[in-house]
Structure 1
């Protein structure tokens, strides 16, 4: 397979995994899965731009900012099949339970939403909605695209080399240790430059906050769960997105 074909396969896989777009792909190879994570920030930027356009349009119609922000967060959840939101909820419940890593992983796999999940979702999605709703016009589009892209850049840190999969099978096992340690910082650097063009100092500050949150989350979950999982990828995406939006709305 040529280099162009490999890149196309990785992008198609990223679109298939991370959006509801009906992109057909075969069984993913380890190479394509690793490439898909590196495409994730660009896919996220597209999703964020859609959410920002919705906020912009609803604002022009006189819809209150918080309502517009809540609807935009809902669109983002629909556009990703709720996968990242579910990962955030499961990670919160896993971190909130007592017992060894096996117990935490069992709680996460159960699929129910416990009190830690409910509170975490209310806070994180509430921050996203309120911060989105506080922006207007083209700033809403650019800010949402930046924030969602930054959240997805966190995938590359969570799946960096040296952090094994917490359990066999699933997305986490497929992408664990697939990313060189420099990939996520490289994405954060590019996004920080873009953020300065979008929002002055608030842009880079948001990227730095998102990076710190992602690094802390990855370190804590690797200790608590014995490695990374697909749920942690989702948690990193939602927390990173919220961090950037919060700073942009400051």
Structure 2
């Protein structure tokens, strides 16, 4: 298989992992999750385009910014199957309700959602919708949607690089290979989609980084590393922080 064909296959694996968007079936050699990790930001950029299209379409119909933003967030949830939101809820339940590391990991693997998870989702999604509405206004700009969706997926990749797997199995372990060119390729994609935002890109990067570091430090202290739920929480929290930064830096549309 040629190098371009391998990269395309890796991109499709990343899309299969992070979204519910149809990308067809892979025949022959199937790349590992670790090999596909460079493409997380690229997949995120696609999700950002979907969210922007829904927000812009709703605004064009004359819907208020708050409703347009809520529909955009709903479109993102549908596009990803709520994967990252589920991770945030599981992390909140585990860290909030577990007495020790083993119990926290056990709770995080439970498919049921508890009060900590509900509260975490309500706060993060509520903040995101409100901030997005303030940025989008009546003419939603494409740039922040793509930049933050890609940047928050790079935050996941960065935490994969920085933290060891907390389990001997699961998504965090399967995708947890470190080093090589792949993290740099992911960073290049994230930076490329942020460049059109000009000076505001630095503020958004700072917000994304601070939020990702906060979740990573918490995960290291609570369970000793990363899991798929930790990565989902990183995406949600950094995305929310990015939208708050965008509201402060970019204002209304």
**TM-score of the two chains, using structure 2 as the length reference:** 0.87
Q: Secondary structure at the match of 2:99?
A: coil
Please give the per-residue CA displacement for 1:77-114, whole angstroms capped at 9, x wherever unaligned.
Answer: 11001111100110111121242110001111112221
CA distance in 1 between partners of 2:28 and 2:100 (Å): 33
Pairing 1:242–2:243 present? no
Q: CA deviation at 1:67?
A: 1.0
**TM-score of the two chains, using structure 1 as the length reference:** 0.88
Q: Which moved more, 1:96-105 or 1:129-138?
A: 129-138
Does the C-alpha gap of structure 1 residues 246 and 26 become closer, same or farther in structure 2, counting only changes over 3 Å? Answer: farther
Please give the per-residue CA displacement for 1:138-182, whole angstroms capped at 9, x wherever unaligned.
Answer: 653221111111110012112116x32212222111012x13399
Unpaired runs of 5+ residues, structure 1, are: none
Q: CA deviation at 1:249?
A: 1.5
Please give the per-residue CA displacement for 1:5-35, whole angstroms capped at 9, x wherever unaligned.
Answer: 3212211101111111233237996x63123
Q: Secondary structure at the match of 2:26?
A: coil
Instruction: Tell me the matched-pair count.
Output: 246
Pairing 1:220–2:218 present? yes
> In angstroms, what is the RMSD of aligned CA positions?
2.4
Q: CA deviation at 1:47?
A: 0.7
Pairing 1:57–2:60 present? no
Q: Secondary structure at the match of 1:62?
A: coil
Structure 1 equivalent of residue 201 of structure 2: 203
CA distance in 1 between partners of 2:181 and 2:118 (Å): 34
Does the C-alpha gap of structure 1 residues 195 and 7 become closer, same or farther in structure 2, counting only changes over 3 Å? Answer: closer
Q: CA deviation at 1:118?
A: 1.1
Structure 2 equivalent of residue 180 of structure 1: 179
Structure 1 equivalent of residue 152 of structure 2: 151
Assess if the C-alpha contact under 8 Å between 1:156 and 1:184 holds in 2: yes
Assess if the C-alpha contact under 8 Å between 1:218 and 1:228 holds in 2: yes
Pairing 1:21–2:21 present? yes
Does the C-alpha gap of structure 1 residues 112 and 28 become closer, same or farther in structure 2, counting only changes over 3 Å? Answer: farther
**TM alignment of 1:45-194, pairs within 5 A:** 45-134=45-134, 135-136=136-137, 139-160=140-161, 163-176=163-176, 178-180=177-179, 187=186, 191=190, 194=193
